[in-house]
Structure 1
Amino acid sequence: MFKKAIILMIISALAFALLNVFVKSLTQFNVYQIVFFRSIGSLIFTIPFLLHYKIPILGKKRFLLISRGVVGFIAMTLFFASLKYLSMGPAVSIRYISPIFAAIFALLLLKENIKYLQWLCFALAFSGVVILKGFDANINGIGLLFALLSAFFTGLVFIIIRKIGNSDHPMVVVNYFMIIAALFGGVLSFNEWTTPIGIEWVMLLSLGVFGYFGQYYMTKAIQLAEVNQVAPLKYIEVIFTMIIGAIWLDETYTLISLLGILLILIGLILNFVVKR
């Protein structure tokens, strides 16, 4: 079961990496339109799932579900926007510091304790961000800001999901997110809509497919094995994204940027180990 969980986690990381690469390559479309197609593509799976298993689509904790959708939309939009300014490696790595913000929110809002070693891990991860900004001339300031804000709002999403708890089925939570993101993305992209041509339709609609299966296989992997055994493997997404980006989009990385990314990943993985 453990080997199967590892395989599923790797497939999940690859799906998310392909999602990142496709978003990065679709520069001719505005970010809201990309969010719209990303959401519509996932709704093709979530709505039939809920209907098939007769799960109430509206859920129970509706205010929190709507809040999760709105905050999630903001986080996703900011991350996709950051990809227009940054290479994919730094953008994805910085987005992954969201557990730092989640821990701070948990401390302030849920009164949870944070171990001293966790603060050291957070400092190590954030030092990677500082190195990227302070010593890598290729890092765009606006892109860095978007990625950090995306991580901030993603951290808030974690807290909202914690508040929802087991009251609602996970697919209901995802479905709310996708519906709200599709609505906001569709409305905000209306004035700058670019009609896709040929293969662009496939690429845009595949965003939702990659996102759905990335989430699905990650969930299945966590169900098959202990969380502390497989969860750190999700950071393979960064490696996959950088490799595919280098091959497909000719992205290059300096030693300084690689050092910054490495520090971020080490800090996050150590935090996970300490927390467990």
Structure 2
Amino acid sequence: MNRKIAILFLIITAILWSLGGLLIKLVNWNPIAIAAGRSIISALLMLAYVRKPKFNWSRDQILAALFYFGTVTLFVTANKFTTAANAILLQYGAPVYVAIFAPLILKEKTKTADWIAIAFALFGMTLFFFDELEVKNLFGIVIAVASGVSFALYIIFMRKQKDASPIDSTLLGNILTALVGLPFIFSQSFEFQNVLGIVLLGTVQLGLSYILYSIAIKYVEALEAILIPIIEPILNPIWVFLAFGEKPGSWALLGGIIVLSSVTLRYSVPLLVRNFNTTK
């Protein structure tokens, strides 16, 4: 596979991921039960794709699986305690954490321009705390930030396995999420709306998307892998607004614009320049 196909896979992945907020709001379950339910279905789908998973139990594979578990569980929880826009926009502070941790773990250098983008992104993230400062919303915001940190570390340890089989870490992470949350499922309501939401979350939004993502990540850089799907935080709140009328507060919206703009401009412009130079 070449890099162009990998980028196309990332775009499709982002569109599928963007359905998460809508489908999570659709399911009236405990957040841990939602995470477990969709991971059970996603694990079965991935197992059908992989057929013979390669669980080598390496440090990188286990850490990627643990941070995947953290990402999906924290993200579902954040969606239940704050708006879908807050949850997804704060999760997309992940490039900030990739830039911070990549030099230490991947030995990929973080440049001065990265730190400038990080400063603007962190400033944008603080604006979320000016909206609706009730306990529930504040808790959701903190959980969303934690989801972003976990997502960044998941990306880094997936990237470390670029010469191996990174999808196995995602499969292992789904199995872990399913096992942890399985006891919570039995006490939930299995009405049609809930079941439909879980099935769509497990197949389209999580299973297929992460198969595509696990393939693509072997052919792109770590920061590309987290920045190209930037369409997700744009589409995610739009789907939720159209379906439920939920919209972010003005401060959160401004903060989200600053976060997305800072990371997008910092990393997309050099990529465009590099591609232009290589085609000349």
Question: Could you say which TM-score interval applies, normalised by the shorter chain?
Answer: 0.7 to 0.9
Q: Distance in 1 between matches of 2:227 and 2:58?
A: 31
More displaced 10-residue stretch of structure 1: 213-222 or 244-253? 213-222
- Aligned mate of 1:239, from 234, 239, 253: 234
Aligned-residue CA RMSD (Å): 3.1
Structure 1 228/84 Cα, relative in aligned 2: closer, same or farther at 3 Å? closer
Name the amino acid aligned to 2:47: I
- In structure 2, list runs of 5 or more residues that go unmatched: 272-280
Equivalent runs, 1:111-260 vs 2, <5 Å: 111-134=107-130, 136-137=131-132, 140-167=137-164, 169-187=165-183, 189=184, 193-209=187-203, 210-218=205-213, 232-260=227-255
User: TM-score, normalised to structure 2's length?
Assistant: 0.82
In the alignment, is residue 30 of structure 1 matched against residue 30 of structure 2? yes
Q: Distance in 2 between matches of 1:196 and 1:17?
A: 24
More displaced 10-residue stretch of structure 1: 225-234 or 71-80? 225-234
Partner of 2:278: none
More displaced 10-residue stretch of structure 1: 152-161 or 141-150? 152-161
1:48 CA drift (Å): 1.4
Paired-residue identity, %: 25
- Aligned mate of 2:258, from 220, 241, 263: 263
Q: Distance in 2 between matches of 1:132 and 1:100?
A: 16
Number of aligned residues? 267
Q: Distance in 1 between matches of 2:50 and 2:99?
A: 31
User: TM-score, normalised to structure 1's length?
Assistant: 0.83
Q: Distance in 1 between matches of 2:220 and 2:95?
A: 21
- Aligned mate of 1:62, from 53, 58, 62: 58
Q: Could you say what secondary structure the match of 1:196 adopts?
A: coil
Name the amino acid aligned to 1:41: I
Residues 210-264 of structure 1: per-residue CA shift (max 9 Å, x gap): 2122234556777999999997441111221121111101112343322111101
Contact 1:40 1:178 in 2 (8 A): yes
Name the amino acid aligned to 1:12: T
1:29 CA drift (Å): 0.9
Q: Distance in 2 between matches of 1:12 and 1:138?
A: 33
Name the amino acid aligned to 1:32: I
Q: Distance in 2 between matches of 1:103 and 1:229?
A: 12
Q: Could you say what secondary structure the match of 1:193 adopts?
A: coil
Partner of 1:42: 42
Q: Distance in 2 between matches of 1:113 and 1:275?
A: 15
Contact 2:124 2:259 in 1 (8 A): yes
- In structure 1, list runs of 5 or more residues that go unmatched: none
Q: Distance in 1 between matches of 2:113 and 2:177?
A: 36
Name the amino acid aligned to 1:66: I
Contact 1:228 1:273 in 2 (8 A): no
Partner of 2:18: 17
Contact 1:74 1:150 in 2 (8 A): yes
- Aligned mate of 1:273, from 247, 264, 268: 268
Name the amino acid aligned to 1:193: S
1:163 CA drift (Å): 3.4
